Amino acid sequence: MKKQKNEEAVRLVKVILESGFASRRNCEKAIMSGRIRVNNEVILDPAYRVKESDSVSIDRKLIERQRKRYMALYKPLGVVSTTKYLPGRRIITEFFKGIKERLFYAGRLDSESRGIMIITNDGEFANIITHPSYEILKVYDVTVNGKIDSEKLYEASKGITIKNITYSPFKFKILSKGRVQSKIRLTINEGKNREIRKIFDYLGYKVIDLERISVGCVSKYDETSGTLEAGHIRDLTKKEIEFFFKQKDKKLKDIENIFANVSEYDDNIIDDDYAEDNTYSDISNKTEQDEKKEKKHDKSKWAKAKPKKKRLVTKRENTYKAKTNKSKTLKSANKKNNFNSFENKEYKKNDSKKRSFNKERTDKSFNKKQINKKNTNKKRI
């Protein structure tokens, strides 16, 4: 069956995954086993494109297509950023229990931190927020113990490496500075694991409180709904949603402009070289002899510069090499064995000589003892 070509079409796996039927792998298995139908036709391709008007069924039961949801949650302290059940712990899913759609977060926060989190069921939208190439700014209010050293923080803001992990530059503003504690506002375009805490720990400060104020244009201070309190959730406005999708369009346009500028720049360079270099401008005035000399000179250069081609090795040569290597190893082993056998023979000879000498000594001493006994017996008699 031919795939449908439409910009608004979505892959079949994604539709089933968003319905909350199963994991991605199990959804693919269900499609390939023939359990999924699109417009009462069995589809076996997980990458098949489905329109919004198409009807999708699992085991002949229609799926209710989920609408895209874009929401902002103010995560309170002590809540874990996960959708999995953790016994004895509070998790994010408790704040959107009444929502039918299968939601997930875009950019996590530690359980010790609080602030704005984007909740959605659109993977493309989540990728725009989390991927550092889109440079979505996140603003944090950080409270630190002690009096902050602005010079140290300025040096760290240029970019810093801690335990072989590089952290990109960031902007900061010191809101308050005191002996007991200081408050700083940071703006960062990436969100590595416990990034802010590690930076301040490296500088010699302990983070007392960390609050994420905004993600892009989404802030806890909203003109229409007011301040978003801890544990509350709200839908994003059209302007806020469009802001994030515009960032993707800007990135694509920037890439196109870069390639266009590079091609123009290269053309200008070539024209300048031809105009400035006399060798190209005086080509018509050269004689045939000069051209031949130049060709010879170029050939000699290339001959020196070119590496030698490796000769192809035949099977016979490979077998011959293998045999010679085996024979060499055998010879070396035999030499070692012969040397060891020679040493053993000499050792045996020396050992036998020693034994014979010791026997002679013992025999002589025994004879002397017997003679002495006879002499003593004669004297007694």
**How many structural domains compose the chain?**
3
Per annotation, catalytic residue among 45, 54, 59, 110: 110
**199 and 74 inside one domain:** yes
**87 and 228 inside one domain:** yes
**239 and 96 inside one domain:** yes
Domain boundary residue among 227, 250, 273?
250
What pLDDT does 277 receive?
A: 36
The Cα 12–Cα 54 span in angstroms is 11
- Ranges of residues in the chain whose predicted pLDDT is under 50: 1-6, 255-286, 299-306
The whole domain housing 181 covers 70-250
What pLDDT does 174 receive?
A: 94
**φ, ψ for residue 275, nearest 5 deg:** -75, -40
What pLDDT does 15 receive?
A: 84
**Is residue 110 annotated as part of the catalytic site, yes or no?**
yes
- Report yes or no on 197 lying in a domain: yes
**42 and 145 inside one domain:** no
CATH number at residue 42: 3.10.290.10
The Cα 89–Cα 34 span in angstroms is 40
Question: What integer best gives the mean pLDDT of the chain?
Answer: 76
Domain boundary residue among 220, 250, 280?
250
**137 and 209 inside one domain:** yes
- Report yes or no on 216 lying in a domain: yes
**38 and 112 inside one domain:** no
**36 and 126 inside one domain:** no
What pLDDT does 161 receive?
A: 92
**120 and 219 inside one domain:** yes
- Per DSSP, the residues of 281-295 read HTSTT--HHHHHHHH
What pLDDT does 24 receive?
A: 76
